[in-house]
Amino acid sequence: MRLLVTADWHLSSFKNTYMNMKEQLAEGLRVLRSIIKDQEPDAIIVAGDIFHDKVLLYKTALDLFVDEFLDPLTSSGYKQPVILIAGNHDMGRSGCLLNDHIIRGFNNVFVIADHIGNYENGRGVLVPFPLANLEDMAEAGSEEDALYLISHFGLNEARLNNGLSRLSPIRLHQLSMYRMILLGHYHTPQSLTITRQGQKTTAIYTGSLVPLSWNDKNEKKRVLIVDTDKIAADPELAYESIPIQSPYIKEFKEYIIDNTLSEDKVYDILERALKNAKQHIVRVVVPSLPKCDISKQLDQLRSNNVGVLTLTQDGLFESDNEGGGDEIENKWLGKNFNELCEQYMSLYPDQDKLAETLEAILSFEDE
C-alpha cells in the first residue's frame, strides 16, 4: 500500500508579517493536490497539527482546509481515505478541532483523536498526540503484525527546527519493535535509523508543508510517499521524498558573511542574496566584517528589503531592516549555536547573557 504522509500544516498560523501566509498555505495545499494527482496514493495521512491555534478553530483556517483541500480533492474524484491524526495544536479546550462537523461531513475523512487506530490489518498503528505515551505505543507495537507507527510527538534524538535537541522521555530504541516511525511535530525534515538485533528502525519527520518562519530557513519542504510493502525488507528504502515546489512559495533564505571568506566569495554571496530578494525573504548575517568594503552592497540589499544583521558590542545581532523581522537575534543564535560557540565565542563578552539567551530559546519552542 502506498501512503502519502504529511504533517504540520498549521493552517491558522497567520501571525507572520513577512508575507501573505494564508496565500502561502493555500499554495502549499494546491501543490499537495497536484502531487496526489500524480502519485495516486492509496491513502493520505496527516500526522498532526493541521490547525495551529489550540483554543479556537479560526474560520479562515477551516475555509482553507475545506476550500483548498478537501472540496477540490473530492471533486477531482479522489475517494481514498484521508486520515487526520490529532497533533498538540489540534487540541482545543473543548476537544479536538478536527471533530468539526464540516470536516466530519466528508465521508472519506477519518479522524484519530481519542483512540489508537489500526490500519492495514494491524500493520499500521496510528496514535494521536494526547495518547502518544511510550507504554501504550510500545504495547501496540508488540502486536504480531505491527510494522509501522504514525504519530505526533518529539523523539529525544531528533532536532527541533532551531537546530537544538530537547529532552524527551521517548527514545528511538524504546520503539524498536516498529520498523518505521512516521512523525509530525518537529518541522525540520529529518530521518534517523538505528539497528537492534539486526533489525532496522527508521524514524522520519516529514517536516512542515511550507516555510512558516525563520526557523525554516534554507530548508526544502516535502511530503513522503511510503510503500508499506517495502518496510519489512528495508525501511530506509521504503519511502520517497516529494518536494513542495512552487514559484509562489516564499522561502526564508539566510546568507552569512564574515572575515574568513575570500573577496570573490563575499561578492558572490551578496549577489545571490540580492537576486533571491525578488522572490524570497532574505537576510544577510554579518558576524564579522570581511576585509573588502561591502557598505555599498549592504545598502543596496537594504533598499531591496533584505534584512542585514550585524553583531553589536554587547554580542547581540542587530537588524536595521524589515526583512529581518523580530526576535531575529534569538532565532539566529539558536539555530547555529553549536557552530557559533566554536567560531564566535570570543565575540561574546557577556557569557551569562549568552547562557540566558540559550535558556530562552530552549523554553520558547512549541512545535
Residues in contact with Mn ion by CB under 5 A are: 49, 87-88, 185, 367
Nearer to Mn ion, 13 or 202 (CB): 13
Question: CA-to-CA distance for 330 and 123, rounded, in angstroms?
Answer: 43
Q: How far is CA 362 from CA 16, 187, 296, 366, in A?
A: 21, 15, 37, 10
Closest to Mn ion by CB, 64 or 301: 64
Instruction: Answer whether 242's CB lies under 8 Å from 39's CB.
Output: yes
Identify which of residues 184 and 235 has a Cβ nearer to Mn ion in the complex: 184
Give the nearer residue to Mn ion in terms of CB position, either 185 or 250.
185
CA distance 227 to 248: 30
Q: How many CB atoms lie within 10 A of CB 166?
A: 16
- CA distance linking residue 220 with residue 276, whole number of Å: 15
For residue 10, the minimal CB distance to Mn ion (Å) is 8
Residue 68 cell numbers, joined: 483548498
User: At its nearest, how many Å lie between Mn ion and the CB of residue 129?
Assistant: 7
**Grid cell for residue 152:** 505526533
Question: Minimal distance in Å, beta carbon 153 to Mn ion?
Answer: 8
Reading phi first (left if > 0) and then psi (alpha if -120 to 50, else beta), residue 198 is in: left
CB of 207 to Mn ion, least distance (A): 12
Minimum CB separation of residue 181 from Mn ion in Å reads 15
Between 87 and 307, whose beta carbon lies closer to Mn ion?
87
For the CB of residue 8, give the shortest distance to Mn ion in the complex, in Å. 6
Q: Which is nearer to Mn ion, 10 or 283 (CB)?
A: 10
Residues 6+ apart with CB under 8 A from 233: none
The residue among 88 and 202 lying less far from Mn ion, judged by its C-beta, is 88
Cα separation of 356 and 247, whole Å?
39
Query: In sequence order, which residues have a C-beta less than 8 Å from that of residue 341 and are 6 or more positions away?
Result: none
- In whole angstroms, the minimum distance from the beta carbon of 85 to Mn ion comes to 11
Q: How many residues does the structure list for the chain?
A: 367
CA distances from 66 to 36, 63, 310 (A): 16, 5, 44
Minimum distance from CB of 367 to Mn ion (Å)? 5
- Which is nearer to Mn ion, 160 or 308 (by Cβ)? 160
Using CB atoms within 10 A of its CB, is residue 164 exposed (0-12), middle (13-18) or buried (19+)? middle
Residues 12, 17, 19: CA angle, nearest 5 degrees = 85
Q: How far is CA 204 from CA 38, 190, 210, 268, in A?
A: 23, 6, 17, 35
Pairing of strands 307-311, 281-286: parallel
Which lies closer to Mn ion via its Cβ, residue 95 or residue 105? 95
Q: Smallest distance, Å, CB 185 to Mn ion? A: 4
Shortest separation between residue 57's beta carbon and Mn ion, angstroms: 16
